[in-house]
Amino acid sequence: MRIRLSCLFLFLGLALSGCGYNTLQSTDEQIKASWAEVLNQYQRRADLVPNLVNTVKGFAAQEQAVLLGVTNARSKVGSMQVTPELINDDKAFAKFQAAQGELSSALSRLLVISENYPQLKSDANFRDLQAQLEGTENRITVARNRYIKAVQEFNITVRSFPTNLTSMIFGFKVKPSFSVENEKEIARPPTVDFGGSSQTSPVKK
């Protein structure tokens, strides 16, 4: 009996392996790891916002609309419930992407107004925060690219024959990814011209 069971499990294991089950599992795990890094970098950016807003406010308190826009955008991002299931839900993923895009736009506007305040641009704390933000935006781009590639590999496996049959049996479905248009936008980190050479470090893809 034990020999029969062992042979059965061995047969099932070989059959599942041949049908792409192991590939589906490994690529799914890669997506989870890549997504965790995306969230980590987005959180890093969100953590910079309060200090950045307060620093700008100290030199440009009259820019209430822009400052409020950044604060509200960060609040919207923070209020979202980012569960592991989010990457399996097209609508939830789209809302997450839109919220992060709104924060990116708000931060860009905040940095643009600094051009009108020489004292702010020369403030050491602001320069440090701006550099940290720029570095974080670059890391976000790298993390997003890795996620996009992981999702692409997984989705191809899910749609291809015969692994599409295995996908249907075990409930694997295509996962949402970042749009190309949004990827191009985020690949341009917000920068400020401090009167010297550009602080932007190109992102290598």
Q: How many CB atoms lie within 10 A of CB 78?
A: 13
Task: To the nearest 10°, report the CA torsion of 28, 30, 35, 40.
Answer: 150
Domain-located, residue 18: no
pLDDT at 13 over 80: no
pLDDT tier, 179 (very low <50, low <70, confident <90, very high otherwise)? confident
In a domain, 106, yes or no: yes
Specify the pLDDT at position 21.
Answer: 87
pLDDT at site 3 = 53
Q: By C-alpha distance, which of 131, 34, 33, 39 is closest to 77? A: 39
> Global pTM?
0.79
Domain CATH number, residue 58: 1.20.1440.20
Q: For the chain, what is the domain count?
A: 1
Quick one: pLDDT at residue 18?
52
Q: What value does the mean pLDDT of the chain take?
A: 84
Instruction: Check residue 75 and give its pLDDT.
Output: 97
- 77-105 residue pLDDT tens: 999 989 888 999 999 999 999 999 999 99
Domain ranges, residue 121: 23-186
Residue at 10 is within a domain: no
